[in-house]
């Protein structure tokens, strides 16, 4: 929900660049995450606010202007204010919908823990979708189980080598960043 607010990215960038002291990459990352968590809580309360309250306030203000409009024509300033409030209300309702979608996912996770039949059906369906029964390489379709197994084994080994190279690069970068000559523990 916060990701829909452009101000959040500016604040997040500022929080991530705040100084954190300590030694060790994991320790620094943990401290930085705690700092960002506390800043997000404050930002949520003070800047972002309660969506339900915003929706109620904007709806009331728009209704007040509608009542005024029934009594007399609105001034140009009032019409602009109502149009801006209608845009804000639309945005707030969109954010409220996102909030409910996120909460419902959390509810489904909790429900899945209690409703194991449903949970297993959903997991098996996902496994069925993720199963590779054929693959196309350079326009040639490979469907034979033995050939497919060989191709997937080669792909797995290539990915393993790539991941090893990346891990070594990150380790080298860590050592140069920390100014150490020897390999230390993560």
The share of the chain scoring above pLDDT 70, in percent, equals: 74
Q: Tell which wins on pLDDT, 23 or 67.
A: 67
Q: With 50 as the cut, is the pLDDT of residue 186 above it?
A: no
Q: With 60 as the cut, is the pLDDT of residue 68 above it?
A: yes
Q: With 50 as the cut, is the pLDDT of residue 122 above it?
A: yes
Q: With 50 as the cut, is the pLDDT of residue 18 above it?
A: yes
Q: Which of 8, 92, 18 is nearest to 43 (CA)?
A: 8
- pLDDT at res. 184: 46
Q: With 70 as the cut, is the pLDDT of residue 25 above it?
A: no
The share of the chain scoring above pLDDT 90, in percent, equals: 6
- pLDDT at res. 71: 92
Mean pLDDT for the stretch of residues 106-111: 55
- pLDDT at res. 61: 92
The 3-state secondary structure of 10-75, one letter per residue: HHHHHHHCCCCCCCCHHHHHHHHHHHHHHHHHHHHHHHHCCHHHHHHHHHHHHHHHHHHHHHCCCC
- pLDDT at res. 180: 53
């Amino acid at each position: 929900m916060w990701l829909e607010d452009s101000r959040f990215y500016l604040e997040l960038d500022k929080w991530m660049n705040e100084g954190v002291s300590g030694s060790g990459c994991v320790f620094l990352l943990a401290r930085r995450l705690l700092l960002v968590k506390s800043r997000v809580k404050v930002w949520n309360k003070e800047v972002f606010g309660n969506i339900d309250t915003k929706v109620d306030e904007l709806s009331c203000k728009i209704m007040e202007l509608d009542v005024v409009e029934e009594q007399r024509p609105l001034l140009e300033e009032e019409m602009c204010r109502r149009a801006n409030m209608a845009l804000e209300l639309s945005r707030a309702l969109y954010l409220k919908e996102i909030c409910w979608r996120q909460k419902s996912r959390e509810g489904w996770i909790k429900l899945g823990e209690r409703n194991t039949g449903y949970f297993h059906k959903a997991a098996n369906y996902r496994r069925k979708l993720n199963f590779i029964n054929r693959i196309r390489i350079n326009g040639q379709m490979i469907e034979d189980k033995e050939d497919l197994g060989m191709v997937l084994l080669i792909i797995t080994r290539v990915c393993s080598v790539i991941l090893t190279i990346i891990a070594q690069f990150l380790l080298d970068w860590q050592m140069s960043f920390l100014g150490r000559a020897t390999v230390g523990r993560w």
